[in-house]
Amino acid sequence: MSPSTLSPIAFPDVVLPESARRLRAEVRAFLDEERARGTVLGRPDSWLAGWDPGFSRRLAGRGWVGMALPTEYGGAGRGFLERYVVIEELLAAGAPVSAHWVSDRQAGPSVLQHGTEEQRRFFLPRIAAGQCFFSIGMSEKSSGSDLASVATRAERTADGWRLTGTKMWTGGAHVNDYAIVLARTDEAEDRHAGLSQFIVDLRAPGVRVEPIRLMSGEHRFNACHLEGVRVPDGMLLGRRGDGWKQVTGELAFERSGPERYLSTFPLLVSLLRELERRPATAERLTQVGLLTARLHSVRRLSLGVAAALDAGASPDIQAALVKDLGTRLEGTLIDTVRGVLPTPADPHATPGSHPELLAFALLHSPGYTLRGGTNEILRGIITRGLERH
Tens of pLDDT, residue by residue over 302-342, are 888 888 877 777 777 888 888 888 888 988 999 999 999 99
Looking at the chain, the number of H-run helices and the number of E-run strands are 14, 8
Q: Are 265 and 291 in contact (CB under 8 A)?
A: no
CB count in 10 Å sphere of residue 60: 22
- Tell me: the pLDDT tens digits for 130-181? 999 999 999 998 776 677 789 999 999 999 999 999 999 999 999 999 999 9
Query: Please, which residues have CB within 8 angstroms of residue 97's CB and are 6 or more apart in sequence?
Result: 46, 47, 50, 55, 56, 59, 87, 90, 91
Q: Does domain 136-242 have CATH number 2.40.110.10?
A: yes
The CATH homologous superfamily for domain 255-388 is Butyryl-CoA Dehydrogenase, subunit A, domain 3 (1.20.140.10)
Residues pairing with 225 in the sheet: 166, 208
Buried b (16+ CB within 10 A) or exposed e, 143-167: bbeebbebebebeeeeebbbbbbbb
pLDDT of residue 348: 92
Distance CA(253)–CA(7), nearest Å, equals: 18
Query: Does the fold of domain 255-388 match that of domain 136-242?
Result: no
The CATH homologous superfamily for domain 18-132 is Acyl-CoA dehydrogenase/oxidase, N-terminal domain (1.10.540.10)
Distance CA(74)–CA(67), nearest Å, equals: 9
Average pLDDT over residues 266-270: 93
pLDDT of residue 87: 93
Average pLDDT over residues 56-61: 98
Average pLDDT over residues 204-222: 94
List C-alpha distances in Å: 96 to 49, 87, 100, 260.
7, 11, 10, 16
pLDDT of residue 56: 98
Q: Taking the domains of the chain in order of start, what are their residue ranges?
A: 18-132, 136-242, 255-388
